Amino acid sequence: MSDDGRSRVQVSLRIRPVGRGDLKNCKVVVQKSDECDVIIDDEKIKRSYRFDHVFGGGQEEVFETIGKPMLEDAYKGFNVCLFAYGQTGSGKTYSLLGEVGSEECEGVAPRFVRCLFEEAQRMVDEDADLTIRVSLTMIEVYMEKVRDLLTPRQRGQEPESLEIHEDPRRRVYVKGASVHQVLSAERMMELLRAGNANRQTAETKMNETSSRSHAIMQITLSQEFASVEKKDLECVVSLVDLAGSERQTKTESTGQQFEEAKKINLSLLMLGRALNSFSERKGGDAFISLRESKLTRLLSESFGGNSKTWMLATVSPTAFNLTETISTLDYATNAMAITNKAKVNKSSKDLEYSDLVKLRAYLDDSISRETGLIETYDREAAELRADITSLRRELLALNDSKMESELQDALAERNALISALVNKLSFAAGDDRERVPLVCFCGTCKTTLGGIPLGSYEVDTLVVPFYDLVGPPPLLQCNLHVQLTAEEEVMVVVELVELHHLPDFASEGVRVSIWFDGQEGSRVSTPIVPSNGGNPKLNFKQVYVLGPITERLQQFLSTDSLYLQVEGITSTVMNSLDVDETGSQCLS
């Protein structure tokens, strides 16, 4: 990696041995010439290619060359990605996962997982302040639909199709994909095997268990230290098993398999165009939108983004597959020209600590203002007491009853002023003052109700925008009901369930406000709900009756008309001069 954080995609090639599926007496035309070179020696085509590594050995060599550097970079805090690409039946899934029950034939993934937990145990034993957490998400892209591979599936029922979203920092994630906390290498392998068993596969002329989907395994590695001086690190390890490219004339696929093959080849084509676009050697021929396919959008960080990326290209050695082999070699050559800008993922603790420093400075300023007011009131009270003493002396020296009456009236007026100032002084000193919430962050999200059929409801999880927050943003979980009353009027029920990922510095909890766009009178707020370890339970329900169904009401509901504002509460302060119009003391 260079000094400016740029690192090239590392590309390795693996040539599959001649197997039972190859034609008898078919000529071997693809051979390894040395550690990094491969040559094509055919009657019509003679070419040579150079990569970072060309494998001629077993599974251990692949892991030592690719898996170990990935593991080292992951523990340094870099996002890392390995994706396997090649013709169907060329050995991608074998290289990545290997054979179940054979330690010698284990692929990169099981070896990586075992070493990941061994290193975690070693580091925790050496540093008592360190806590390491590992979680797994596993998805597939099948027929341009994103599906969770670790969710139990009902026989005969189509798995749920999930949506791809971006968080406030423009990082891509799959909404609704399950996240599994993992405590051991054995449990991780159980999940990987279960997810791989749920993948769409089918038998073709080229491969008995041809993968019909792209599988993406994402392992999140988090290192947290009890000491503020040490930096927390978090990274994502992505292991991608791409479906194999195939030609219908060879696989002889028909019907559903033919439709699957078209989708597979289309997504690989869009990925290839994206590689060309990112390639420095190509100079960025044309802009390719990563939204053209689900696969390119999910892999957007792996090419030109914040990741260290490895590509393992697999090919067949025989002349029968020479066309597909050349296509794979050209594909891999383009990937070598892509440069990423990987960086160590920032510590969320560092940003939380900086926020606390800002909060402390604000509170110090508030205390200074209050102290100045108290000193001012003390001086005014002392001056008034001195005036009263002087007037009393003058009153004793006067015999005129009228003057005495006037002085008594003046004395009463002075006493009233002193009483008022004493009240102010007590107010500033902290006696019987009303406490109001101190809001440490405020984020507003909005949603639409137009997509909810009458008489049904939607469970929605809304991202609460929070400027400059590292780590998962606060997520507001709510149930939205839309139904008709007995009088045929539209009734909306907003049920606030729970808030996830509340920042630690919101120590006193959270408050949520709801209102409709342009209808300030519809605004209601929950009481302050305790933080509950970062996941406060809201248990709040609000009912709105909007009137009969009209075209104008339907148009209103189809826009982002429902607003939800989340306020984090850090503590309470005394009601003073700096209170805003809502009655909440807000941080700048």
Alpha-carbon gap, residue 223 to 133, rounded angstroms: 7
Distance (Å, whole) CA 40 – CA 48: 6
Known binder of ligand: residue 305? Answer: no
How much is the pLDDT for 69? Answer: 95
Pairing of strands 435-447, 585-586: parallel
pLDDT on residue 455: 87
Q: What pLDDT was estimated at residue 284?
A: 44
- Tokens 């390719």 belong to 288
Backbone angles phi, psi at 585, to 5 degrees: -85, 115
**Residues contacting residue 246 through CB under 8 Å, at least 6 positions apart:** 87, 88, 204, 206, 210, 253, 261, 264, 265
Q: Which residue has the tokens 């050697």?
A: 281
pLDDT at 354: 67
Residue 31 known to bind ligand = no
Q: Is residue 87 marked as binding?
A: yes
What secondary structure letter does DSSP report for 64? I
pLDDT in tens, the chain (588 residues): 544 456 889 999 999 888 766 666 678 889 998 889 999 988 888 999 999 999 988 899 999 999 999 999 999 999 999 989 888 888 888 899 888 667 888 999 999 999 999 999 999 999 988 999 999 999 998 888 899 999 887 777 778 889 888 877 777 889 989 999 999 999 999 999 898 888 775 444 444 445 668 899 999 999 998 877 778 899 999 999 887 665 544 545 555 655 666 676 676 777 777 666 666 444 444 455 566 678 888 888 887 788 899 999 999 898 888 888 998 898 889 888 888 888 888 655 555 666 677 778 888 888 988 888 898 889 989 999 998 988 887 777 765 666 667 767 777 777 667 666 655 555 554 544 455 678 888 889 999 998 888 888 888 889 888 766 667 889 999 999 999 998 889 999 999 999 998 988 888 899 999 999 888 889 999 999 999 988 999 999 999 998 998 988 888 888 878 999 999 998 754 444 333 333 332 322
Listed in sequence order, the residues at least 6 apart from 553 whose beta carbon sits closer than 8 Å to its beta carbon are 490, 546, 547
582 is in an annotated binding site: no
Give the predicted TM-score (pTM) of the model: 0.57
Tell me the C-alpha distance between 242 and 434, whole Å. 62
Q: List the domains of the chain with CATH numbers.
A: 6-248+256-348 (3.40.850.10), 439-569 (2.60.40)
Give Dmax (Cα) for the chain.
Answer: 138
Residue carrying the six token digits 């692949």: 62
Nearest to 138 by CA among 196, 243, 216: 216
As to burial, measured by CB atoms within 10 angstroms (0-12 exposed, 13-18 middle, 19+ buried), residue 239 is buried
Q: Is 2 annotated as a binding residue?
A: no
Please list the alpha-helical segments (H only) found in 336-450. Answer: 348-397, 401-429
218 carries a ligand binding annotation: no
- CB-facing half-sphere around the CA of 335: CA atoms within 13 A: 28
Q: What is the pLDDT of residue 62?
A: 94
Q: Is 250 labelled as part of a ligand binding site?
A: no
φ and ψ at residue 530, rounded to 5 degrees:
-55, 155
Instruction: Give the residue from 108, 24, 20 showing the smallest Cα distance to 71.
Output: 108
Phi, psi of 211 (to 5 degrees): -70, 130
Residue 89 in marked binding region: yes
